[in-house]
Structure 1
Amino acid sequence: MDISRHAAKLFLERGVAGTSGDDIAAAAGLSARTIWRYFRSKESCVEPLFAKSMTDFCEQLRAWPKDISIEEQFAKTFALETKTDQEIADGFLIVRLVAKLAEEPELQTSWLMSRHQSEPDLALIIADRLGRSSQDFDIRLCAAAVASAIRVIDETVSFAAIVHKQTFSTAELVEQMAAAIRRISPIPFCDPVASDVFGRSGGSRRS
């Protein structure tokens, strides 16, 4: 993560083309050999930063109680007071990088890979909520759709915030993210779910 943060800052300051593997190594206080031991290219150095944001997001979703809606869970997930200073700083780095994806297409692969890799975790979360198998086709399809919705919202908000200087409240982010997931999900899982007397998850309490 330390290498990833240094790489992100250099890419933002100098651009990808203007940053070398040696530059990243020097900023991190490591040898170039160490950098290439862990990363296949200089662009891939930002993958841990991108991946951790999605891993943390999924970790918070795993704690989603079955008796509250996705909007209620997102209100807790996105609340700044629940974040550490490092998490906030990392989030801002990611927003700035994502806003530059159109200018720095070399970073697209790392960004898209981080979102694609979240699909198994999302499938487990959705399956657990509905009492299903994460390997069911429609659960996997739903997870892929949700990952795409999250990516598009992240890209839209990042570009608007950095390029157009728009500001967003936590409530607005919750509303937009939840609405996008609700629209794109092929199966309902966003509302509170009921359990039977044996503790098994049932259907949504709302249609």
Structure 2
Amino acid sequence: MAATSGDDIASAAGISTRTVWRYFRSKESCVEPLLAESAYRFMASLRRWPLSSSFEDFLTEDLSASPPTPQDLADDIASVRIISLVRDEPALRASWLMVCGRAEHAFAPIIARRLDLPSDDFRVSLSAATATAAVRVVHEEISIGAVAGAREYTLDDVVTQLGRAIRSSSNEPICDPRPQRSLL
């Protein structure tokens, strides 16, 4: 990344260097929209998560029922490659953490719904922060392992690791199905 200039980025994107600097605070921040797109798709999926389903069951069903488009898959592969670099590239890490911070805010209403609490409740905020951090760590581990060729991951591997990480990150039962209330 150090050898890549703002001019290189502008040329590859087919825009002027001035436009790059108008919209991005650094060359590394140019990757934020790509990283954010994957995060937003994940959050959009979680907004469909029924209260009656566990995290793992829902995610497996949802990802199987609506596989990524070719463009989404290409974006996800590019994201994995970028995420695999964040531990060694502080400026890329800063961009990745900015995206994770926005994901945390998007996760809070999902968690609030699962806990039947207001979005601004402390337990919701804490669960959103810890769950997002858990998801971040899993993404980093999987990305580093996949890019290095150390391991191939199946959908079940990813779902299992995400579920385990989120469950262990919070004392709240956010991954469990929520019992249905009786109408009586």
Using structure 2 for the length normalisation, give the TM-score. Answer: 0.93
**What percent identity do the matched residue pairs reach?**
43
Deviation digits for residues 178-202 of structure 1 (CA, Å, limit 9, x no counterpart): 011111112112111123246xxxx
Question: Aligned match of 2:114 in 124, 129, 138?
Answer: 129
State the AA in 2 paired with 1:124.
Answer: P
Q: Which runs of 5+ in 2 are unaligned?
A: none
8 Å contact 2:52–2:180 — kept in the other structure? no
State the AA in 2 paired with 1:100.
Answer: L
Residues 1:19 and 2:4 aligned together = yes
- Please tell me the root mean square deviation across aligned C-alpha atoms, in Å: 1.5
- Deviation of residue 35 (structure 1)? 1.1
Deviation digits for residues 40-60 of structure 1 (CA, Å, limit 9, x no counterpart): 111110011111111111110
Higher relative contact order (CA 8 A, sep 6+): 2
SS for the counterpart of 1:66 is coil
- Deviation of residue 81 (structure 1)? 5.7
Deviation digits for residues 13-44 of structure 1 (CA, Å, limit 9, x no counterpart): xxx21111111111111111111111111111
Relative to structure 1, the CA distance from residue 155 to residue 80 in structure 2 (aligned partners, 3 Å threshold; closer, same or farther) is farther
Cα distance in 2 for partners of 1:71, 1:103 equals 31
Residues 1:96 and 2:64 aligned together = no
Q: Count residues in correspondence.
A: 183
Cα distance in 1 for partners of 2:93, 2:20 equals 20
**Correspondence for 2:134:** 149
Q: Map residues 78-93 of structure 1 onto 2, 5 A cutoff.
A: 78-79=63-64, 82-93=67-78
- Deviation of residue 76 (structure 1)? 3.0
8 Å contact 1:78–1:174 — kept in the other structure? no
Q: Which runs of 5+ in 1 are unaligned?
A: 1-15, 199-207
Question: Aligned match of 2:94 in 92, 106, 109?
Answer: 109
8 Å contact 1:53–1:91 — kept in the other structure? yes
